[in-house]
Amino acid sequence: MLEQNALHQKILDYIDNKIYNQVPVKSYHKKVHQNGNSCELCHGSSEPVTPADTANCANCHGSPEAVAELTKELEPNPHNSPHWETELPCDSCHMEHSESKSVCKQCHQFGFKTP
Amino acid sequence: MSNDNCQKVDVSRRKLLAGGAAAATAMMLGSEASASQINNAISWDKTFDVLVIGSGFAALSAAIEARRKGLDVMIVEKMRVPGGNSTINGGLFAVAGSELQKEEGVEDSVELMVQDMMAAGRGINHPELTRAIAAGSPDAFKFVVECGAKFKPKLSWLGGHSVARTYLTHNASGSGIVRPLVKTARREGVVIRTECKMLNFITNDDKRIIGIQVKDGYRFPDEETGIVKHFKARRGVVLASGGFSRDTKFLSAQDPRLGGVIDSTNQPGATGEALRAAFRIGAVPVQLSLIQLGPWASPDEQGFGVASMFNIQSGFRYGIMVERATGKRFVNELADRKTRADAMIKNVKESGEPDYPIILVDSVGAKACPTLDRCLEYKVVHAFDRLEDLASHYQIPAEGLIESVTAYNEYVKNNDDLELGKPVSTATPIIKPPFYAVRGWPKVHHCMGGVEINPSAQVLHSETFEPIAGLYAAGEVTGGPHGASRLGSCAITDGLVMGRIAGNSVARNDAI
């Protein structure tokens, strides 16, 4: 299912970027982001020149500790690692406008599929 | 254009003279003039008593010690989270004369630890630094335990050590020490400023360090991010920015064999810019070309991975390492890292490609590995019911392998490795299936070289060989403590001991 979603996401990104001339956003963020027209939700500005503030992720998803609680059944827990606990910023792994990639992959082969 | 080329060649030649490199670089960059200009017109964005560059063992120790003297302390960390390499390392911490050694009946001393470190370092360690680290190890252990670190109840015996003296954190990771230190630092009032990259040291007309220039709001590795700011340090700056294992240009300048073809165990931020900033203001460079390869790494995973812990805890101590081509052992598996790594990288095919040696152990020896489940899950380590199956899988000649195992078992039985001199007094024979094996290949792990310091952690200037006022350094960014090859599990000791010394030294410095 996640593999299918990955392919689906790539197609959507391509359509957004090439056909509608919009910055690609993740499929699960399209509605809340008004199909990529609501930059200020994450960037705090309608014409952003700096990366998003991850405090804005917490506005919808809850604190890093709350997110870690949701994934506590996973072993290991990607949101509460021994190395950084819950301190790693969300966009260390979760990229909105490009492919997401787990930081853990630099050293480990956990097989995480980062949405 | 041709003039530029000549000039570049001249600079390259002068880099062969270690002392000249700093002077040449200073002239090229005009840092003296720019520092003077900064000094005259300085507008400070922030002022602290002590600024600490980096956030690993050495930085956290320095910051906490300085803070406990009542000073205002800020840690400056360029990455997005604190911890550096310290929080991802193996959590192995050598302590001479520890309580656990007394419990386990191990006879040890500071002197013996110094001997082991000097032997590994091929005798070119700065002995006063090596001794300071070994002597400070019991207090450093108490320090981290008081901060909340927990350790396994059994000592490890690492390659190059005469006795078992190495603690392992409860979670087999340096984070078992780093996270308690981060929490302690914050609770006690140390500011930890991440995404803040140190650019240059700022000196006054007396050549005293009075602060640093940084890029605040920096987002590694995007060099376009961040805003330049100037932070003042009333007492001094502690340089604790770690090694340069991820700086491929600087690395290959020191050792051309390492120019990108050998992987590193380090975190991506270990790029040594702060070290080079120290050279620009005249810090003495020490032993920069001595770069250690970790012999316990595997080519079948990235970075340090999980197989490294398997090899450290089980494979090298309770098992053997053999050439794939012959099945023969070729090095004492408990020799120090340099001996093992140098022997391993000689395993090459006719084409020059690596012919990865194999490390194997039986089920008794494998019990010592805390990460065995993950090693198997990630298919870095494999299990076999018979040695013949293991040989077949890795294409090792079965008769050669079985002959090596039989001979080794005889050495264990007689407590005498006639072949390679491995200490086998606590080893077990390789008898009981299943047998576990992994392909091994060294990775760039630790840079022994760095800035010169004295036992008070003051950085020395290459013009006078006296301390640079206001500048201290500790941990992997310094040169001298480990000589030609760092002994396993001594980096944590170095970082914690010299970090604490640096923190106390900067607290004793006069305020400006």
User: d(Cα B281, Cα B271) in Å, to the nearest integer?
Assistant: 18
**Domain extent at residue A81:** 1-106
Give the CATH number of the domain where residue A90 resides. 1.10.1130.10
pLDDT in tens, B222-248: 998 998 999 999 899 999 999 999 898
Can you tell me the distance from the alpha carbon of B51 to that of B45, in angstroms, rounded to the nearest whole number?
Answer: 13
Predicted pLDDT at B39: 54
CB distance B171–A82 less than 8 Å?
A: yes
Inside any domain, residue A112: no
The two three-digit tokens of residue A22, written as one number: 């919009």
- Whether A60 is in a domain gets the answer yes
Structure tokens at B191: 């500011």
User: Which one has a higher pLDDT value, B501 or B380?
Assistant: B501
Residues 322-381 of B with CB under 8 A from A: 378, 380
Please confirm, yes or no, whether B317 is among the known catalytic residues. no
> Rounded distance, CA B512 to CA B506, Å?
12
Is residue A37's pLDDT more than 80?
no
Q: Is A85's CB within 8 Å of B179's CB? A: yes
State the count of interchain CB pairs (< 8 A) between A and B: 50
* Cβ distance of B302 and A88 shorter than 8 Å: no
A81 neighbourhood in chain B, CB within 8 Å: 175
Rounded to a whole number of angstroms, the distance from the CA of B105 to the nearest CA of chain A is: 32
Across the interface, do A109 and B179 touch by the CB < 8 Å criterion?
no
Give A48 to chain B, closest Cα distance, Å: 14
- Per-domain residue ranges for chain B? 13-41, 86-181, 296-441
Domain range B296-441, its CATH number among 3.90.700.10, 3.50.50.60, 3.40.50.970, 3.20.20.70: 3.90.700.10
Among B81, B178, B303, beta carbon nearest to A107: B303
Residue B376 distance to chain A (closest CA, Å) = 11
What pLDDT sits at residue B133? 98
Q: How many CB atoms lie within 10 A of CB B346?
A: 11
pLDDT at A73: 84
Substitution target from B57, B80, B376 for chain A, most A beta carbons within 10 A:
B80
**Percentage of chain B exceeding pLDDT 70:** 91
Name the active-site residue from B131, B246, B329, B337.
B337
The verdict on a CB contact (< 8 Å) between A108 and B378 is yes
Residue of B nearest to A106 (CA): B302
Residue B167 confidence (pLDDT) above 90: yes
Contact A82 B176 (CB under 8 A): yes
CB proximity list for B416: less than 8 A, separation 6 or greater: B424
Interval B335-357: pLDDT, tens: 988 899 989 988 988 888 789 99
What confidence tens digit (pLDDT) does each residue in B70-105 have? 999 999 999 999 999 999 888 999 999 998 998 889
Q: How confident is the model at residue A3 (pLDDT cuts 50, 70, 90)?
A: low
Mean predicted confidence (pLDDT) in B384-391: 94
Segment B99-136, tens digit of pLDDT? 899 888 998 999 899 999 999 998 999 999 998 999 99
Q: Which residues contact B485 (CB under 8 A, 6 or more apart)?
A: B120, B121, B122, B290, B292, B336, B337, B338, B339, B448
Question: What is the per-residue pLDDT across B244-266, written as a single tens digit (0 to 9) for each?
Answer: 998 988 988 998 877 666 788 89
Residue A69 lies in a domain: yes
**Is the CB of B171 inside 8 Å of chain A's CB atoms?**
yes
Q: Is the Cβ of B301 closer than 8 Å to some Cβ of chain A? A: yes
Residue of A nearest to B87 (CA): A83
| Interval A12-35: pLDDT, tens | 777 777 676 667 888 888 777 666
Say whether B10 sits in a helix, a strand or coil.
helix
B301 with A51: Cβ contact below 8 A? no
Mean pLDDT for B197-203 is 95
In a domain, A113, yes or no: no
- Average pLDDT estimate for B153-166: 91
Mean pLDDT of B319-328: 95
Confidence at residue B220, expressed as pLDDT on a 0 to 100 scale: 93
Q: In terms of pLDDT, which residue wins out, B256 or B491?
A: B491
Q: How many structural domains does chain A have?
A: 1
pLDDT at A38: 80
Cβ within 8 Å, pair B303-A106 = yes
The closest CB to that of A84, out of B83, B302, B305, belongs to: B83
